[in-house]
């Protein structure tokens, strides 16, 4: 197990990414988005019954395959968004926006670096 900002040496093409999302009960969280090297690779829904009213919103290990080169992974959690970053359902933000107008809550991680061949992490594209 390695944490945020750390490097994992993984000579396998499979990787388990443990994701835990916690948020205040009034913050809407509808989905988790996984990025590899800055590109969205997977979106995972959060059950509608857990959008509001609970602190622990998501706690799973996601198995990724095809990790064939050094890579970094980040994760975001928040409301469903369009390709431009606008919320899909602006009405869902009503509770949050009574506290701070115009705010779209978003949580994100620092990267976890994966050294695929054990020869030291080399950033993608270099």
| Cα 68 to Cα 97: distance, rounded to the nearest angstrom | 43
Q: Mean pLDDT, to the nearest integer, of 59-70?
A: 95
Question: Is residue 36 predicted with pLDDT exceeding 90?
Answer: yes
Nearest to 90 by CA among 81, 99, 98: 81
Predicted pLDDT of residue 48: 57
Question: Is residue 119 predicted with pLDDT exceeding 90?
Answer: yes
Bridge partners (DSSP) of residue 61 are 18
Q: Mean pLDDT, to the nearest integer, of 43-55?
A: 71
Bridge partners (DSSP) of residue 43 are 33
Model pTM?
A: 0.87
Predicted pLDDT of residue 4: 81
| Cα 100 to Cα 14: distance, rounded to the nearest angstrom | 41
């Amino acid at each position: 197990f390695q944490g945020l900002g750390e490097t994992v040496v993984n000579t396998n093409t499979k990787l388990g990414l443990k994701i835990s999302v916690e948020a205040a009960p009034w913050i809407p969280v509808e989905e988790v988005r996984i990025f590899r090297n800055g590109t969205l690779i997977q979106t995972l829904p959060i059950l509608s019954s857990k959008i509001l009213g609970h602190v622990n919103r998501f706690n799973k290990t996601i198995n990724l395959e095809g990790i064939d080169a050094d890579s970094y992974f980040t994760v975001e959690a928040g409301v469903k968004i369009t390709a431009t970053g606008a919320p899909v359902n602006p009405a869902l933000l009503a509770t949050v926006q009574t506290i701070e107008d115009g705010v779209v809550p978003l949580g994100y991680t620092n990267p976890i670096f994966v050294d695929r061949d054990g020869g030291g992490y080399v950033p993608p594209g270099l």
